Amino acid sequence: MIKEPNRDSAIGIFDSGLGGLTVAREIMRQLPKEKIVYFGDTARLPYGSKSKETITRYSRQIINFLMTQDVKAIVIACNTASSYALESVSREYDIPIIGVIEPGARTAVASTRCKNVGVIGTEGTISSKVYNRSIHAIDDSIIVSGKACPLFVPLVEEGWIYDDVTRTVAERYLYDLKQENIDTLILGCTHYPLLRKLVGEVMGPDVVLVNPAYETARDLKALLEATDSLRKCSSNAEEEHSFFVSDKARSFSNFANSILPCNIDSAHKIDIEKY
């Protein structure tokens, strides 16, 4: 049973690393009064090449940790963990837990005119075919073509966002999708919006890029409204967010500062295996 929410509690957000910050950024934009507790599992990244059992175990540990931080809702800001773990963990905890797949699928269905959608993501997300199922649950006449792009995550974590190496990798990964006549491409990994410009240049101006973060933040807002748990205070929460990682705290906070609208003094390193 879902427990009575405390409006002043925080929103827990997690990902394998930096990628979920693209979702945190959108939540900060749409819900500026809400406090965020972010966890990036930088010691155990990447998630995309690991099994469903492992990612579900990692997700439970992270949710157990976030539950110690007085959170009223959790956003799994990771497509791989949403694909593998959302269904089970959302039944196991007494606070609402949402993922990024359904919001992304909904946005893509609304965007495609020629009913031909591409999805890029980790090996885990693409092989789970979770986007195909979510899109077909809305409109089963849409053709969905997936492509795993496993090198994108380490390139983003390395900060090689505008790099010739990354462009070459993108051209090679996206070559097949370019032959499929898609008009909409889901950035089905939360690291990929950081490569949006480059992916857009490779795919060309006729392909709409979908970042599920926007619709995920809208879903979160609707959920908080429906449960009367939106935070009601006069000032924004900029100074109140907290950031935790399982490794490399300094490089995480440097990068986070380059993409978030607020300043992070430091990220705290915790031992996630204890949870």
Contacts with ligand DGL by CB under 6 A lie at 15-16, 19, 45-48, 78-80, 122, 125, 153, 189-191
Closest CA to 15 of 68, 73, 94, 79: 79
Is the CB of 45 or the CB of 237 nearer to ligand DGL? 45
**Rounded Cα–Cα distance for residues 77 and 243 (Å):** 14
C-beta of 240: minimal distance to ligand DGL in Å?
A: 25
Query: Is 189 a catalytic site residue?
Result: yes
C-beta of 149: minimal distance to ligand DGL in Å?
A: 10
**Rounded Cα–Cα distance for residues 57 and 135 (Å):** 27
How many Cα atoms are found within 13 Å in the side-chain-facing hemisphere of 156? 30
Is the CB of 73 or the CB of 186 nearer to ligand DGL? 186
Is the CB of 198 or the CB of 237 nearer to ligand DGL? 198
Is the CB of 16 or the CB of 184 nearer to ligand DGL? 16
What the block records as the tokens of 107 is 């946005």
Query: Is 114 a catalytic site residue?
Result: no
C-beta of 227: minimal distance to ligand DGL in Å?
A: 26
User: Alpha helix locations (H) across the chain?
Assistant: 21-30, 52-67, 79-92, 101-111, 123-128, 130-138, 152-157, 164-178, 196-203, 213-226, 249-259
Is the CB of 47 or the CB of 131 nearer to ligand DGL? 47
Neighbour order of strands in the sheet with 268-269: 97-98, 71-76, 10-15, 36-40, 242-245, 268-269
C-beta of 78: minimal distance to ligand DGL in Å?
A: 4
Is the CB of 5 or the CB of 103 nearer to ligand DGL? 103
Phi, psi of 122, rounded to the nearest 5 degrees? -75, 170
C-beta of 171: minimal distance to ligand DGL in Å?
A: 21
What the block records as the tokens of 171 is 């051209």
- 10 in helix, strand or coil? strand
**Rounded Cα–Cα distance for residues 139 and 237 (Å):** 39
C-beta of 22: minimal distance to ligand DGL in Å?
A: 9
Q: Which residue do the tokens 């110690």 mark?
A: 68
Exactly one of 114, 189, 233, 262 is catalytic; name it.
189
Q: Enumerate the active-site residues.
A: 78, 189
